[in-house]
Structure 1
Amino acid sequence: MEGFENEIARLIGEDLKKPVTYYWWPQTIGFVRNTLRARQCDLVMGTASGEELMQNTNPYYRTVYSLVYRTKSGIRAESVGDPSLKDARIGVVEKTPAVNLLRLYGITRTEPYQLNTDTRANNPARDAIEDVAAGKTDAAVIWGPIAGYFATQQTEPLTVVPLVKEPAVARLQFNISMGIRADEPEWKHWLNDFIKRRQDDIDRILLRYHVPLIGPDGALKTAAAMEPPGYRMDQYRAPTPAGLSGASTVTLAELRRLIEHFPDTRLIDVMPAPPRPADRPAPAVWVPPPRRSLPGAVWLPNVGYGSLTGEQERYFRAGLETLTGGDRASRLVFFCEPDCWMSWNAAKRAVEWGYGNVYWYSDGAMRWQEAGYGLETVEPFAGGASN
Structure 2
Amino acid sequence: MVTQFDEQKKELVRQTGFGGILELKLTKVNRQFGAWLLSKVDPQRCAIIPARNKVIPFSSKDVNLFFSVPSSGKAIEACSQEEVEVRKVYFCGLFEISNFKTLNVSFLKEILTKQYSHQLTCDEQRAFKAAFVFYVMTKLLAPQSLANFISPRYIRAVAVIDNVREYNWSQFVVDDLKKSADNMPKRFPRSSQGSITGCIVFLQALYLSNLDFGCEYLTHDASPSIAAFNDMHVNMMISADLVTRTNPGYPFPKYGKLKLRDTPSFVRPDDRSVGTQSVILGSSSTQLGSTGSPSMDFVYEYLMSRFKSKKLSAVVGHELTPPFMSIYQAVTSINNMVDVANNKFYSIIDEHANSPAGPLSEGRKNISSIGPQSTGSSEGSGYPRRQSDGSNEDTTPLVHRPVRAASSDLGPSQELETPNNSVTHLGPQSDFYSQHGK
TM-score by length of 1: 0.29
Kindly indicate whether structure 1 or structure 2 has the higher relative contact order, using CA contacts under 8 Å at least 6 residues apart. Answer: 2
TM-score by length of 2: 0.27
The structure where helix makes up a greater share of residues is 2
The structure where strand makes up a greater share of residues is 1
